[in-house]
């Protein structure tokens, strides 16, 4: 097992850390390709290390099981999609629209990439995974919108939990095929109402065209 001891001279430690991070990134990139191609069930750890071109044993320096690397892949896709939404915030003046775009982008992803949706929503840890990956983005967006006076909630923490849980449940209904065509819009409309936007404004904001960058799959 590689160790990054604090007692080593910095230069060696830096190089080791960098190499370790590179190996981790290679493993995640490889797992992502394999998961998309053949699903989690069919993917073996040895295939991941072969695809990543790293030794089989080095897998266990980074992950203790296949489940753990699957969670890491999902976490990375969630964060990179949230980052893609955050990147277009500069073009969107209305902080309520930013929140609508974020929710819609994840509901739409569940429809356009159902394998990813199943993988995410079937996990024991799906709630924690989504909360950890997207919570910081959601908190920042909601704070900005309330500070601007555009939205208001009785309690920030409860509102964040509720909107996260609502999103997961709606994504699940998309993946299992029970959601209607415009589930992303209906869901965003509900979330905006919950966050204090009057119904007529919520309906209008939730139907604004989405920036292309938000719906591209990272």
CB contact set of 45 (below 8 Å; sequence gap of 6+): 56, 59, 66, 69
Which position among 81, 145, 189, 210 is part of the footprint of its own copies (CB under 8 A)? 189
Query: What minimum distance in Å lies between the beta carbon of 162 and its own copies?
Result: 4
**Number of residues near its own copies (by CB under 8 A):** 39
Give the C-alpha separation, 54 to 48, whole Å: 9
Give the C-alpha separation, 57 to 46, whole Å: 9
Which position among 164, 204, 208, 213 is part of the footprint of its own copies (CB under 8 A)? 164
Looking only at residues 110 through 139 of this chain, which bind its own copies when binding is defined by CB under 8 A?
Answer: 124, 127
Which position among 31, 163, 175, 205 is part of the footprint of its own copies (CB under 8 A)? 163
Give the C-alpha separation, 185 to 205, whole Å: 9
Query: What minimum distance in Å lies between the beta carbon of 124 and its own copies?
Result: 6
Using the contact rule CB under 8 A, the part of the chain among 55-63, 71-79, 92-100, 175-183 near its own copies is 175-183
Measured from the CB atom, is 27 or 188 closer to its own copies? 188
Based on C-alpha coordinates, what's the Rg of the chain?
Answer: 20
Which position among 169, 216, 217, 218 is part of the footprint of its own copies (CB under 8 A)? 169
Looking only at residues 137 through 156 of this chain, which bind its own copies when binding is defined by CB under 8 A?
Answer: 152-155
Using the contact rule CB under 8 A, the part of the chain among 15-23, 33-41, 62-70, 186-194 near its own copies is 186-194
Query: What minimum distance in Å lies between the beta carbon of 209 and its own copies?
Result: 18
Using the contact rule CB under 8 A, the part of the chain among 1-9, 15-23, 27-35, 158-166 near its own copies is 158-166
Give the C-alpha separation, 135 to 100, whole Å: 15
Count of CB atoms situated within 10 Å of the CB of 12? 11
Torsion angles phi and psi, residue 41, rounded to 5: -55, -50
Give the C-alpha separation, 153 to 139, whole Å: 12
Please, where are the H alpha helices in the chain?
Answer: 10-42, 45-52, 66-87, 95-112, 114-122, 126-147, 156-175, 183-194, 199-206, 212-215
Which position among 13, 61, 173, 215 is part of the footprint of its own copies (CB under 8 A)? 173
Interface with its own copies by CB under 8 A: which residues?
Answer: 124, 127, 152-155, 157-159, 161-170, 172-173, 178-180, 182-183, 185-187, 189-191, 193-196, 198-199, 203
């Amino acid at each position: 097992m590689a160790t990054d001891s604090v007692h080593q001279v910095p230069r060696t430690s830096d190089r080791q850390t960098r190499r370790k991070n590179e190996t981790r990134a290679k493993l995640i990139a490889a797992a992502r390709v394999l998961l998309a191609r053949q699903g989690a069930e069919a993917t073996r750890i040895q295939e991941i290390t072969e695809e990543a071109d790293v030794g089989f044993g080095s897998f266990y320096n980074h992950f203790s099981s296949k489940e753990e690397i699957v969670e890491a892949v999902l976490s990375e896709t969630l964060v990179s999609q949230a980052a893609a939404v955050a990147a277009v915030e500069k073009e969107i003046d209305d902080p309520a629209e930013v929140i609508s775009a974020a929710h819609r982008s994840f509901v739409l992803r569940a429809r356009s990439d159902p394998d990813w949706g199943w993988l995410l929503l079937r996990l024991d840890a799906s709630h924690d995974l989504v909360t950890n990956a997207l919570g910081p983005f959601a908190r920042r967006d909601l704070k900005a919108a309330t500070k601007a006076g555009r939205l208001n909630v009785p309690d920030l923490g409860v509102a964040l939990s509720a909107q996260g849980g609502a999103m997961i449940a709606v994504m699940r209904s998309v993946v299992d095929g029970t959601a209607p065509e415009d589930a992303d819009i209906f869901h965003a409309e509900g979330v905006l109402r919950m966050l204090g936007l009057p119904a007529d404004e919520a309906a209008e904001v939730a139907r604004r065209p989405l920036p292309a960058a938000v719906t591209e799959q990272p």
